[in-house]
Structure 1
Amino acid sequence: MRYSDVDLNHKTILITGGGGFIGSNLAFYFQKHYPDARVVVLDLFRSNLTLSNGNLKSFGHFKNLIGFNGEVISGDINDQTLLAKLSAHYKFDYIFHEAAISDTTALEQDLMIQTNVNAFKDLLDIAVAHGANMIYASSGATYGDAPSPQRVGCEAPQNVYGFSKLMMDHLARQYAQKHDSISIVGLRYFNVYGPREFFKNKTASMVVQFGHQLLAGKHPKLFENSDKILRDFIYIEDIVQANVLAMHPKESGVFNVGTGKARSFQSMVDILQKELGTAFACEYIPNPFIGRYQFHTEADIESTKAALDYSPCFEFEAGIAAYVPEIKRLFEQELS
């Protein structure tokens, strides 16, 4: 679906983190709807480098970009020499900044702040110099365990990742106040699921993970009282919609991107079982995260609707139904 009537042909679009989940979906959106746009993907593609928690430093994967016809650059947004070359070689009209250390369990505070906050400032400087509108990934993690519905202005981050995203939002507001010739929009994603997330490994959504458990003939393992553990799950197409609408917002700012409806992990498994034609009994295990685990998230999206004309299109049932063919393909081609 095309979400904007703005003519982007012959415009130059930079997507950082373009080999990752959301970035690659944006790349294909623009390729499909604006074939004459120049789309430049920058990503620190995965290597054998890991964080102290054992997870990969980068989740960017070439398979997320198979079929993409634009320009692909491998590089680190912390590399100021690279950023200077990009700034000199291109004239960007829009910058979609999705690159980040996005692992919420990462303990490297120095790397988190350097990558998520300091490099963002460098990219904001490029946006100002080029007159490019900036759309960047903030996060629902900025709210920590704040009560639902989560509203902008009620932040209480519980980890360095959430803190880093909040610092990005502060920077963005400062730049927006000084440079009103461009728009700067931060999008606080809630629990995103959908195609091209598989290579996030253990940090991929439980939708794909439960889907693969069921396809493998396993009983889904849920925490006890999973019918009372709720999240605002949002399908990737609605994330793409919000990003595209944020290219020309009514105002700069930070906005939640969710459905505005909280759904349970139990409902996730129930919907998957219906779509996959399975009927395995759930196994319930003690929840080791009680006291340090969000039990309810729900985005307040009223300001998002007002500023971006955003309206989520996918209920949880519809999103999972749309995703199931890809879940099956991944199971057959990547796991079997």
Structure 2
Amino acid sequence: MKVLVTGGAGFIGSNLALELQNKGYEVIVLDDFSSGHFKNLIGFEGDVIAESILNVDLNRFKDVDVIYHQAAITDTTVQDQKLMMQINTEGFRRFLDFAVENDIKFIYASSAATYGNAPAPQKEDDAGKPNNIYGFSKWICDCIAKKYMERFPEAHIVGLRYFNVFGPREQYKGKMASMVWQLAKQMVDGKRPRIFKWGEQKRDQVYVKDVVKANLLAMDAKKSCIVNVGSGKAVTFNYIIEVLNKVLGFDYEPEYFDNPYKEFYQDYTEADLTKAKECLGYKPEWSFEEAVKDYSISEHHTN
């Protein structure tokens, strides 16, 4: 079976590409390396195509069985609305069109950013009021996907709304790497971990291994759907520091500072996983504590 992973040199894409390879699939990675990194693909033995999703010749992928569309601008601080919409939404539309036309299964990365300030736990129907252009670009992808699901009931289209993903191969994301990575790096560098006052903000932190598992399950989804992928259990920033202290053997007190993004900041995200369980059979395997332990063993944060 042949699989294409767009954005396959990125954080989630590379974890997915390597796991698909481990499972015996023939894997092609497409990435323009604008934010992906070759080091994420050390150990990968498939083909890598270094081109943009906007103009790569799609006919090269006619014999593919599944497209995993992970490619996107994921830097939520990017203000260029046209660029964000072109890459994230038009790039998505191009591959969705192609997949449906050629009867290829299409599984794509959506985002919890589509929820904006919807109250937690967020259910799939709560989306549609994003706080930034990134969330908006992903929301429009979901809207397009829903129309395709109605028009082409025989198509296999699955959208996965990722919550806060952390784990190996995220260090090349720099400032967009997870809070877990950022705080661990500060601690390893001998600094007190800095968080917004007073650290009681809650986030659904999901381990990348669970996210990869959800992607694999999506291949056999009972029907086309858009579902949450999270841990289903939010943790506070204070708790993240507590767990990191324990795992890394430190005893740092947090340093609190004012949140400059207060007016559009999501204070509490938590994935309602009812639909993901029903459509995909998805149930996270990793508790936050176990995931942090596994992560810091498998990859030191100073890499």
- TM superposition score category, shorter chain reference: over 0.9
Q: Distance in 2 between matches of 1:62 and 1:313?
A: 28
Once the two structures are TM-superposed, the CA of residue 223 in structure 1 deviates from its matched residue by: 1.8
Note the residue ranges of structure 1 that are not aligned, 5 or more in a row: 1-10, 46-57
Question: 1:137-286 alignment to 2 at 5 Å?
Answer: 137-155=109-127, 156-226=129-199, 228-286=200-258
Provide the identity percentage. Answer: 46
Q: Indicate conservation of the 8 Å contact 1:230/1:263, yes or no.
A: yes
Q: After superposition, give the CA deviation of every residue in 1:200-257 in whole Å (9 maximum; x if it has no partner).
A: 010000111111111122111222210x200000000110011000111111111000
Number of the residue aligned with 1:13: 3
How many angstroms does 1:325 deviate by? 2.0
Aligned CA-pair RMSD: 1.2
Aligned to 2:30: 42
Partner of 1:49: none
Aligned length: 302
Amino acid at match of 1:210: L
- In 1: Cα distance, 2:182 partner to 2:76 partner: 18
Q: Is the 8 A contact 1:183 1:248 kept in 2?
A: no
Whether the 8 Å CA contact 1:208–1:327 is kept in 2: the answer is no
Q: Give the equivalent residue in structure 1 for 2:54.
A: 78
Structure 2: gaps spanning 5 or more residues: none
- Whole-angstrom CA distance in 2 between matches of 1:285 and 1:124: 43
SS of residue paired to 2:68: strand
Instruction: Please give the alpha-carbon distance, in whole angstroms, between the structure 2 residues aligned to 1:112 and 1:213.
Output: 30
Distance 2:94 2:238 in 1: 43
| Segments of 4+ moved more than 6 angstroms | none
Segment of structure 1 superposing worse, 134-143 or 99-108: 99-108
Q: Quote how far apart the aligned CAs of 1:85 are.
A: 4.0
Give the corresponding residue for 1:53: none
What secondary structure does 1:240 align onto?
A: helix
SS in 1 for 2:53: coil
Secondary structure in structure 2 of the residue aligned to 1:298: coil
Cα distance in 1 for residues equivalent to 2:187 and 2:180: 11
CA distance in 2 between partners of 1:120 and 1:281 (Å): 43
Which letter maps to 2:30? Answer: L
Distance 2:67 2:79 in 1: 28
Q: Where does residue 121 of structure 1 map in the other structure?
A: 93
C-alpha deviations, 1:180-217, integer Å up to 9, x for none? Answer: 33310000000000001110010000111111111122
The reply on whether 1:27 has 2:17 as its aligned counterpart is yes
Measure how far apart 1:83 and its partner are: 2.9
User: 2: CA distance between counterparts of 1:286 and 1:320?
Assistant: 26
Alpha-carbon distance between aligned partners in 2 of 1:63 and 1:129, rounded to the nearest angstrom: 34
SS at match of 1:180: coil
TM-score by length of 2: 0.96
